[in-house]
Structure 1
Amino acid sequence: MTGLDLRPAAERVVVVTGASRGAGKGIALALGETGATVYVTGRSRNEGDAPLPGTVGATAEEIDRRGGRGVPVICDHSDDVQVAALFDRIRQEHGLVDVLVNNAYVVPDHLADKGPFWEKPLALQDQFDVGLRSTYVASHHAAPLLVASGAGLVVNTSSFGGGCYMHGPAYGAVKAGVDKMAHDMAVDFRPHDVAVVSIWMGLLRTERTAAAFDADPERYGAMTALAESPEFTGRVIAALADAPERMTWSGQILVGAEIGSALGVTDVDGSVPTSPRGFLGNPTTWNSAVVD
């Protein structure tokens, strides 16, 4: 199979990590709407397991209602054994993965607090485990299955925090790290026609941001109009997976609003999100040198 011979969307096997709620849930729903089989991972089995609403089962059920097949998998992405078991199950059930979305992320308390990093809890380093390291581990276990697909796609969800100061050095290091992983993994995957990109998402209307908006409308009020739905990024990923020229973007950081516009993707309300590049800066560019 080549980039010009892509599997139909309804036959694809997709994995979205960290999809009980937030960006992951929106991405999983949008990809499920194409008819794909979507493995939904997360730690929330029952409502109340986390402070915010959402479970892997609820996301999977909504995928079913939208015409796809949702497969809920309880998986703690800080546990390598559980991650290995996830992909071993997929190997036994399907033998391949067409799309992997690395979205699992620990959002520590006080992440968005103002002030220098040393006045915030040391627990902010948890992002290095589920956020940075988890992206590498999931990609490692998924790699043979992506190669087996013949035309795979890996997406690391990221943000403008990879290029500007945002929420402090721990958050920035994780986002810059998954961006660089996408670039370097793309080098290894290119001979196998597997594309790897990092997508800088805009401000999303998630359960978490909705709570923040309600708690401090003076601080966030003007930002609500700029927010994207969590499903917008999923629509962008679906369009990338369908694009015969997807390998031309492999290894790059893509601004979600910009690549969405290029691929003719609109948000759930029909709007076209605006790129924050003008005030948050440009994505990192990489040197083309390859040192084995």
Structure 2
Amino acid sequence: MQRIAVVTGASRGAGKGIAIALGEAGMTVYVTARSLADADSPYGGTAVETANLVTKAGGTGIAVTVDHADDGAVKALFERIRHEHGRLDVLVNNAASLVTITDPGGFWEKPLKAVDLITVGLRSHYVASYYAAPLLIAGGRGLIVNTGHYGAVCYYHGPAYGAQKAGADKMAADMAKELRPHNVAAVSIWMGGLDTERARAYFASLPPEARPTAKRESPRFTGRVIAALYGSDQRMTLSGRALIGAELGAFLGVADIDGSRPISHRYAMGGPPELHPSLTS
């Protein structure tokens, strides 16, 4: 039986790589994004392009234009999936608005639009999960993943980014508690430095001597980890936790696309806090 997945915010970056990796695992992947054309972003990428790459990788890619600030559009997406499949197996919440957060200066000196990260990010994760949950339960075995980061526990890109990442971790923990009786897991997976279009453009703008030389994770690595976690008998044991992707990949025996093993940044940037026992039982 072909598994059904949704990856939000997948026109480029982490979402694109995750969607392609789930395609490699043979899944049907609904790819959501606002971008209709490459010109919509300085970094290029569209939902259609990603969906085509999912299909090329061995899955079935389905592009859906969704603004995740529009609850009605999100509801319509999951109603479509209910009509076409009657169930869902994997939801990856990755949609976010990253405008202005990397600009220099204090949060009070940046446009207020930076707080959109909490709307198209934290709130949109909740809304997508809200509409996905009945379909995940209907499938009898499900997984919700929030894409996370060490910024949940260390300073990184400022308060809006930190609040979004920390909130997404706790949201996954609480959703896991309520979904546990239905055999549906929820986790947050912390990604390391990714080799994305945005990152490459930023590093290219730096003087050669200032460009970092450390290897970066392929965005597809996280998708491979998600596919392995979905199929693992440890899925429900790990449910509710924020997990460092590099560590989870090592535990599940997952390598990056070049065969390397990404490293954990736990000791440089911090690790996920321990959950209260009420959240793990």
The separation in 2 between residues aligned to 1:257 and 1:101, in whole angstroms, is: 17
Q: Which residue of structure 2 lines up, in the alignment, with residue 235 of structure 1?
A: 224
Q: Is the 8 A contact 1:16 1:102 kept in 2?
A: yes
Q: Is the 8 A contact 1:226 1:274 kept in 2?
A: no
Q: Which residue of structure 2 lines up, in the alignment, with residue 76 of structure 1?
A: 67
Q: Supply the AA of the counterpart residue of 2:248.
A: I
Shift of 1:266: 0.5
Correspondent of 1:251 among 240, 243, 248: 240
Q: Which residue of structure 2 lines up, in the alignment, with residue 62 of structure 1?
A: 53
Alignment RMSD (CA, Å):
1.2
Establish whether residue 279 from structure 1 lines up as the match of residue 271 from structure 2.
no
Correspondent of 2:162 among 149, 156, 172: 172
Matches within 5 A, 1:14-33: 14-33=5-24
How far does the alpha carbon of each residue in 1:82-112 deviate from its partner, in whole angstroms, 9 at most, with x for none?
0000000000000010000000011112x12
Q: Which residue of structure 2 lines up, in the alignment, with residue 123 of structure 1?
A: 113
The separation in 2 between residues aligned to 1:254 and 1:282, in whole angstroms, is: 8
Matches within 5 A, 1:87-106: 87-106=78-97
Matches within 5 A, 1:184-199: 184-199=174-189
Shift of 1:217: 4.5
The separation in 2 between residues aligned to 1:217 and 1:100, in whole angstroms, is: 39
Q: Secondary structure at the match of 2:190?
A: strand
The separation in 1 between residues aligned to 2:169 and 2:104, in whole angstroms, is: 25
Instruction: Judge which range, 117-126 or 150-159, deviates more.
Output: 117-126
Q: Which residue of structure 2 lines up, in the alignment, with residue 48 of structure 1?
A: 39
Q: Secondary structure at the match of 1:20?
A: coil
Shift of 1:62: 0.9
Q: Secondary structure at the match of 1:283?
A: coil
How far does the alpha carbon of each residue in 1:118-169 deviate from its partner, in whole angstroms, 9 at most, with x for none?
1222111010110010000000000000001111000000100001111111
Give me the identity figure in percent: 58
Establish whether residue 268 from structure 1 lines up as the match of residue 257 from structure 2.
yes
Matches within 5 A, 1:136-215: 136-215=126-205
The separation in 2 between residues aligned to 1:220 and 1:267, in whole angstroms, is: 26
Mark the runs of 5 or more structure 2 residues left unpaired by the alignment: none
Distance 1:261 1:217, change over 3 A: farther
Q: Is the 8 A contact 1:202 1:227 kept in 2?
A: yes
Q: Is the 8 A contact 1:158 1:175 kept in 2?
A: yes
TM-score for both structures, normalised by structure 2: 0.97
Correspondent of 1:221 among 198, 211, 215: 211
Q: Supply the AA of the counterpart residue of 1:190.
A: R
Q: Supply the AA of the counterpart residue of 1:281.
A: G
TM-score for both structures, normalised by structure 1: 0.93
Distance 1:220 1:204, change over 3 A: farther
Mark the runs of 5 or more structure 1 residues left unpaired by the alignment: 1-7
Distance 1:18 1:116, change over 3 A: same
Shift of 1:249: 0.3
Shift of 1:45: 1.4
Shift of 1:226: 3.5
Q: Secondary structure at the match of 2:154?
A: coil
Distance 1:32 1:275, change over 3 A: same
The separation in 2 between residues aligned to 1:281 and 1:142, in whole angstroms, is: 31
